[in-house]
Structure 1
């Protein structure tokens, strides 16, 4: 039985079950009485119609009666939803007790009508089997109630699973937004400090630097709406960032890129990945024109990217804000199980990144 995911699909599935089970329950209700009469021929009434025709009429009658029971129960489910009966004992009293009560009244009226129309024929035909139709109706009604219960329980389960999945996605998107918002304060502080120096020493250079920062921030805002970007887009943003850093530090900051066009177009990275790694390298390493900091971005095996830099730790490094690499690992964790592989070997620091990420929650 498929799991319904909307009220409309629940309704369709219940109607489909009503059409399928009504004839099956009709057979279930008809065969025992036919087998019983075959076993005890003395209880049979005088044959007015052929045996096969009577069986067909009985099957049709029980099938339509069962379909009528389905309609009664579906109507009660609809009323129950309108009354918003959420507590289990309220549902039991209304749906189950109420259903059997209505079916009992319906069958009692039907038997009473038959007694009124053909009292002798009813007594002759039914005899000791007089209450078999009522027993069959109650048995069929129990089956119908169980089917309805299973369908509705599956719907509630699927609805809870969808709500849970939506909450998880919303939570991940909220985390993404918070993590991305953490990236900029440190950078902006350095920009303002650099701009202050340029204004006092070289106003024209300060003007050009301000324009470059404006372009960078405009691009940053455009990319902030997304979670995953192509490697090419992230690399372009990285280049803009490095341009600003080279204005600030000159030849002391350098970088090299060795990536294929295929990886640039087909690979995906969390937004700001390369820029964050560059910022982390600049923050924790000393650099000058004689001993420049060189950041290398190379293509590795299986479509991975290795970002590395020579290590020259600062004697008085800036206090850590617990953002950098922890932030990056958290953001990768939203899209893949392949978290960044961080290693330090001799005088080199490197981070290897997966680029085949799941874009199912990319917005």
Structure 2
């Protein structure tokens, strides 16, 4: 997520304020020789700008709550701005010992014109800022809706997969106990660990990398017991990364499951799965030997992972496919607070 301020907007706002201040000073200078109160002019400007800004902000709130009466409110804003000028001018003229009269057309014209220019500029700036706030709020709401939608889809996907996976695992376990009780014991240990992590992380958006690796390892060990030499896997992740980074929950296991689902597994041509990380990126690579009669795939699992990863990290996952290899690379996350 990009948390840096938008410098273009800040620069634009500074330019507008500078132009308005310059115009106000220019109008006072052309209306008479008032060079002796240069020190007082900024104070007067601050008071006027503050008063007009606060009044305009309240008026804009009224306009947004009742847009049908906006013309009357806009008129009131200009009248209030002119009144502020006319009220502030006498005290300053007394302090500066400047003789003046309200029937001085040049001075009156200068005050009214200054108030119109200043009020218009303030209204435009405040309109702009309010629109930006509304836009930002709308973008946040859309992002939250996207996250909620993706998480709902992910939860539904898990609910569909888990009963099927558990049924298959129990069937495999039954067969293993008949053929090799020791392998069955090992299988049930990995299955228990797998189910424990699956339940504890079910409602999390992200999980620590060490949990994802453990979850993946238990899953692959179960498949290794099931398929034997037909599957080979390698996990190369620096110890320092295990507790430093995070991933969308169950992402590595999903990629490994896809590899097993879509490829032939034989002792002569085993499926090779390699998981390695470098810096803040992790890659899952598998050899490709497509099944002659592939299972029907909806592609929802990988698509869901891609959406979740992009919403959480702001980056898309990288997918590369050749005749011999299928590779998926994800950016590792660093913000555990996304779970909250």
TM-score, length-scaled by structure 1: 0.64
The answer to whether the aligner puts 1:130 opposite 2:110 as a matched pair is no
Show CA shifts across 1:57-81 (max 9, x none): 6985x77766665465345335425
The answer to whether the aligner puts 1:76 opposite 2:52 as a matched pair is no
- Among residues 277, 282, 307, which one is paired with 2:260 in the alignment? 282
| 5+ long unaligned stretches in structure 1 | 5-9, 36-53, 115-121
- Among residues 25, 30, 33, which one is paired with 1:32 in the alignment? 30
Distance 1:236 1:271 in 2: 12
Displacement of 1:190 in angstroms is: 3.1
Distance 1:223 1:240, change over 3 A: same
Distance 1:63 1:344 in 2: 69
Alignment of 1:64-213 (within 5 A): 69-70=48-49, 72-77=51-56, 79-80=58-59, 83=62, 85-86=64-65, 90-100=69-79, 103=82, 107=86, 130-181=104-155, 182-183=157-158, 185-195=160-170, 198=173, 212-213=190-191
Show CA shifts across 1:29-61 (max 9, x none): 5433435xxxxxxxxxxxxxxxxxx7636985x
Displacement of 1:275 in angstroms is: 0.9
The structure with the largest alpha-carbon Rg is 1
Most deviating of 136-145 and 232-241? 232-241
Distance 1:271 1:184 in 2: 14
Distance 2:175 2:232 in 1: 29
Distance 1:321 1:88, change over 3 A: same
Displacement of 1:149 in angstroms is: 1.3
Q: Kindly indicate whether the alpha-carbon contact (under 8 Å) linking 2:193 and 2:215 is maintained by their aligned counterparts in 1.
A: no
In structure 1, the partner of 2:249 is 271
The answer to whether the aligner puts 1:257 opposite 2:234 as a matched pair is yes
In structure 2, the partner of 1:56 is 36
| 5+ long unaligned stretches in structure 2 | 1-6, 94-98
Displacement of 1:216 in angstroms is: 1.7
Q: Kindly indicate whether the alpha-carbon contact (under 8 Å) linking 2:48 and 2:84 is maintained by their aligned counterparts in 1.
A: no
Alignment of 1:213-228 (within 5 A): 213-228=191-206
Distance 1:262 1:352, change over 3 A: farther
Distance 1:263 1:193 in 2: 35
In structure 2, the partner of 1:48 is none
Distance 1:216 1:281 in 2: 18
TM-score, length-scaled by structure 2: 0.68
Distance 1:68 1:277, change over 3 A: closer
Distance 1:209 1:328 in 2: 27
Show CA shifts across 1:195-214 (max 9, x none): 25756995999898666544
Report the RMSD for the aligned CA atoms in angstroms. 4.8
In structure 1, the partner of 2:96 is none
Show CA shifts across 1:57-116 (max 9, x none): 6985x77766665465345335425646445563342233453267369849x99xx9xx
The answer to whether the aligner puts 1:319 opposite 2:296 as a matched pair is yes
In structure 2, the partner of 1:351 is 327
Q: What SS does the corresponding residue of 2:274 show, helix, strand or coil?
A: strand
Distance 1:78 1:324 in 2: 49
In structure 2, the partner of 1:49 is none
